[in-house]
Structure 1
Amino acid sequence: MNDNKNQIEVKNVTATVRSHRPTDEGHIYVRAQAGRWQRLRKQMGWFFMLLFMVGPWLGWNGRQAILLDIEHQRFHIFGATIWPQDLTLLALLFMVAAFGLFFVTTFLGRVWCGYLCPQTVWTFIFIWFEEKIEGSANKRRQLDKAPWNVNKVWRKAAKHLCWLGFSLFTGFTFIAYFVPAQELALGLLTFSASFWAGFWVLFFAFCTYGNAGFMRTIMCTHMCPYSRFQSAMFDKDTYTVSYDAERGEQRGPRPRKKDPKALGLGDCIDCDLCVQVCPAGIDIRDGLQYECINCGACVDACDQTMERMGYAPGLISYTTEHKLRHKETHVARPKLIGYGVVMAVMLAAFAYLASNIMPMDMEVIRDRNQLYRETAEGLVENTYTLKLINKTMEPVTYQLGVEGLEQAEWIGPSEISIRAGEVLSLPVSLSVDPYLLSSPVQDITFVMTRQGVEPDDSKAAVRNESKFFSATR
């Protein structure tokens, strides 16, 4: 009698759950879910989002610690200043990030999408605003179906105001990485900011509002290329969120105290909670799908259901295809090792170049109007323009000279002070007695030496090769 009562209760619950599917006319009502994977996802999301928000306000030696100053063509990242001449570093950094993403995807599937992707993080934040203002998934569905009244108007208005406010703050924070944060904030508050600064803040605020508030998983499934080419990196040893069909089928409701095998059933009670908590609105029991972002919400929902039923957890879990087929999972495999090796090589190259960035630079430009000229004294003269760059954030004095033509007379300043971050064009000339030249074209090297630095310092001087032309004797 008690068993029949329990079975009726489970069937009624299942019927109720099925009548509240997560999707309704294309809109996904995501049910809130707790659990270890959701705690981890939220902690990581909040941590990196706070880093993003705090980043523009960090100071370093009297200036903004992270400032991508496109207007003046230099990137300040704490103590390092990256100039256009050093953009190889950024290329290497992007390559490290790309191969890092390939490595993680081959090993753990789309965990980037589920745990760290800004689209996912901001979408869950917007859903959090929905839950706090409009209520649970069922309440949000009922509110959308209800006629317009005072309750519906103020809840919808409050939600969109929160969305817009957070979007504006996001747009402001993003642009503050390119325009000094304090200058941008003061300009926006006093309406004295430039048109383009205000435009880009509003543009990225609009993108955030649209992407996280309305498009959500549409961005992932229709606009982000990652969901499309991820399958090329998956193999049978990749850890993905998967449903153990061998254990779960045949699905169906049952009394808690009955042995499911005696009823001809698997462990899945067909409660559909895994579908309701999915931000993409998919059913993981249908197999691996490109919409799945590996957020683990269905894993937590299923584990809690298994616990209530007295079954072992892991019906839905992070697992591999080989493990589901009772085969050995190979973690160290050629493709994963290959991605790891390339990533390590790129990272080593990045570290080497970053540690050897020169604090100054020099470019030598020859006079294009004539190769050489003869002076009234019978000397041969070549004219050059030296483009000198002080990459440091303090004024520095440099000594200029030339190697390979020691007999030449230097015409122009040989010692010059350059302000912090300044690019200076300096015309100079070299003149020499033609009888002292061994050939009509002679290799020379301009040397720019930083004063106040030990001569054996590898960053004390920078050299740039050029040519000295003269008439054939």
Structure 2
Amino acid sequence: MDPNKIDVKIIDPKTNRDANGKIYVRKSQGAYQKLRRYGGWFLMLLFALLPWISYDGRQAILFDLGKQQFLFFGATFFPQDLTLLALIFVIAAFGLFLLTTFLGRVWCGYLCPQTVWTFIFIWFEEKLEGPANKRRKQDNNKYSSHLIVRKTLKHIAWWAVSIITGLVFVGYFIPIKELSIEFFTFELGFLPAFWVWFFAACTYGNAGWMRAIMCLHMCPYARFQSAMFDKDTYIVGYDTKRGEKRGPRSLKAKKPKDLGDCIDCNLCVQVCPTGIDIRNGLQYECINCGACIDACDHTMERMGYEKGLISYTTEHKLAGNKTKIMRPKLIGYSVALVLMLALFIAQVVTVDPINMSVLRDRNQMYRIDSNGWIENTYTLKILNKTQQEQQYNIDVAGLKNVKWYGSQTISVPAGQLVSKPLSLAVSPDELTSPIVKFEFILSDNDGFSLKVESRFIKKL
């Protein structure tokens, strides 16, 4: 035996893994794979292009950590609006629960970034190294110079996608135009450059090398998703009654009476990105990508059998029972999702374009001016949440004959917080109690006004 050659039989046909656990994913064609492939490229392009969209001269979507503000087209959100971010996570959670209860792990198979990037990396692998069978043979033999070149090109392509991914991801937190220019001209600061390379390395490692390991051993969703399943959840299932007893047969021969429709070609295993055999029943490793469905349907078509031996189905349907679509769990998740969406919309609609807080002078509660009037000092902190500079007017309600020490107008740049110190003086005859409640009124030229309550102290 050639010492530089390893027996290719070390590939386990039942798991499609070599001795080192590597999975060689065979290319699958079909309706579900077209949906997954086109959907994946669409999501990838959407992710890559969104930061480049400009609105009113600024990046439309930007989570500016330095300025502690989130820009979303014409709206600016600040830490004071943190409840909106919490609601987004709650909505995403209920949406995922609803989707999983109804359609199983379709998120994992079609929408999860790990899956999308993994299949993009596999696409480059197929284009540069060939199909799965060819890659198996190549990897089990001594590398030729031609193979080394092709593998080098593959890793260059992987790193190119990874660097773009890291750059775009960081571009959601740092203006991407300046970030890109500084990155490619080697003028980027240490911290931004570190994060670009960090996320690039994570993408390269996860999608290029770890792949199914992330889904099988590291993703927490793979572990607890079964808690959301029931016997009416749509899963990728194998019809045992129709398929068994499985066995090979000639393409032109009639189906033997003692065999089912499964010809034991193992294509369903070879196309599976997690290396499982769906014929063994529901397994937590299954990501509902439908690759095995397309492979099996193609085989059934060639054999002249009815499609659907492997399909999106439910445990109830496989057992010969009727699937119940509307059930308490699904209705509960739907109601919770609708309520959270309504609450989120209400919060967004009621977000004020101005925020103001009032601080009294703690060092001196009050003082008597030269005319014998009572004077209180305040600091107004005014936050302009819009993306244009605004001119504001300041007034009070609840105090009579007020004398102002300081301007009653203030200009605040876009997205900036400005402190405005001022003092108010009131004649003692106008104050009916030691502590009087009143309101500061902040208004803009568009008619919007904001009221903040404060106290005027005559004496303690």
TM norm structure 2: 0.94
Equivalent in the alignment of 1:343: 337
Q: 2:412 aligns with which of 406, 414, 418?
A: 418
Partner of 1:399, secondary structure, is: strand
Partner of 1:318, secondary structure, is: strand
* Structure 2 Cα separation of the partners of residues 97 and 191 of structure 1: 38
Counterparts in 2 of 1:250-329, with a 5 A limit? Answer: 250-256=245-251, 260=255, 262-329=256-323
Query: Which letter maps to 2:355?
Result: D
Q: 2:421 aligns with which of 392, 402, 427?
A: 427
Equivalent in the alignment of 1:385: 379
* Structure 2 Cα separation of the partners of residues 326 and 405 of structure 1: 78
Say whether residues 1:191 and 2:204 are aligned partners. no
Cα separation, partners in 2 of 1:393 and 1:258, compared to 1, 3 Å: same
* Structure 1 Cα separation of the partners of residues 14 and 85 of structure 2: 49
In the alignment, is the contact (CA less than 8 A) between 1:45 and 1:116 conserved in 2?
yes
Q: 1:465 aligns with which of 439, 453, 457?
A: 453
Shift in Å, 1:258: 5.1
In the alignment, is the contact (CA less than 8 A) between 1:20 and 1:138 conserved in 2?
no
Deviations 1:296-325 (A, max 9, x none): 000001111111111111111000111111
Shift in Å, 1:209: 0.5
Shift in Å, 1:463: 1.4
Equivalent in the alignment of 2:96: 101
In the alignment, is the contact (CA less than 8 A) between 1:22 and 1:31 conserved in 2?
no
Say whether residues 1:115 and 2:110 are aligned partners. yes
In the alignment, is the contact (CA less than 8 A) between 1:237 and 1:321 conserved in 2?
yes
- In terms of mean alpha carbon deviation, does 243-252 or 296-305 score higher? 243-252
Shift in Å, 1:21: 5.9
Partner of 2:357, secondary structure, is: strand
* Structure 2 Cα separation of the partners of residues 381 and 223 of structure 1: 64
In the alignment, is the contact (CA less than 8 A) between 2:51 and 2:176 conserved in 1?
yes
Shift in Å, 1:200: 0.7
Partner of 2:183, secondary structure, is: helix
In structure 2, list runs of 5 or more residues that go unmatched: 1-8
Shift in Å, 1:369: 2.1
Deviations 1:82-115 (A, max 9, x none): 1222222221112111111111010000001100
TM norm structure 1: 0.92
Equivalent in the alignment of 2:213: 218
* Structure 2 Cα separation of the partners of residues 406 and 251 of structure 1: 93
Query: Which letter maps to 2:353?
Result: P
Deviations 1:175-230 (A, max 9, x none): 11111111011111222222111111101000000000111111112111111110
In the alignment, is the contact (CA less than 8 A) between 2:62 and 2:174 conserved in 1?
yes
* Structure 1 Cα separation of the partners of residues 400 and 41 of structure 2: 62
Q: 2:390 aligns with which of 391, 396, 399?
A: 396
Aligned length: 451
Q: 2:362 aligns with which of 357, 368, 388?
A: 368
Equivalent in the alignment of 2:147: 152
Q: 1:202 aligns with which of 197, 202, 206?
A: 197
Counterparts in 2 of 1:432-451, with a 5 A limit? Answer: 432-451=426-445
Equivalent in the alignment of 1:76: 71
In the alignment, is the contact (CA less than 8 A) between 1:18 and 1:271 conserved in 2?
no
Query: Which letter maps to 2:109?
Result: G
Task: Output the aligned Cα RMSD.
Answer: 1.8
* Structure 1 Cα separation of the partners of residues 400 and 300 of structure 2: 85
Partner of 2:300, secondary structure, is: helix
Query: Which letter maps to 2:354?
Result: M
- In terms of mean alpha carbon deviation, does 294-303 or 77-86 score higher? 77-86
Equivalent in the alignment of 1:164: 159
Query: Which letter maps to 2:376?
Result: N
Shift in Å, 1:59: 1.3
Cα separation, partners in 2 of 1:28 and 1:198, compared to 1, 3 Å: same
Shift in Å, 1:435: 3.3
Query: Which letter maps to 2:270?
Result: Q
Shift in Å, 1:381: 2.2
Shift in Å, 1:259: 5.1
* Structure 1 Cα separation of the partners of residues 13 and 218 of structure 2: 31
In the alignment, is the contact (CA less than 8 A) between 1:76 and 1:82 conserved in 2?
yes
Query: Which letter maps to 1:371?
Result: M
Shift in Å, 1:470: 2.5
Equivalent in the alignment of 1:12: none
Shift in Å, 1:419: 1.7
Partner of 2:109, secondary structure, is: helix
- In terms of mean alpha carbon deviation, does 364-373 or 50-59 score higher? 364-373
Query: Which letter maps to 2:417?
Result: V
Shift in Å, 1:257: 5.3
Cα separation, partners in 2 of 1:410 and 1:257, compared to 1, 3 Å: same
Identity of aligned residues (%): 57
Shift in Å, 1:18: 7.3
Deviations 1:119-142 (A, max 9, x none): 000000111111111111111111
Query: Which letter maps to 2:420?
Result: L
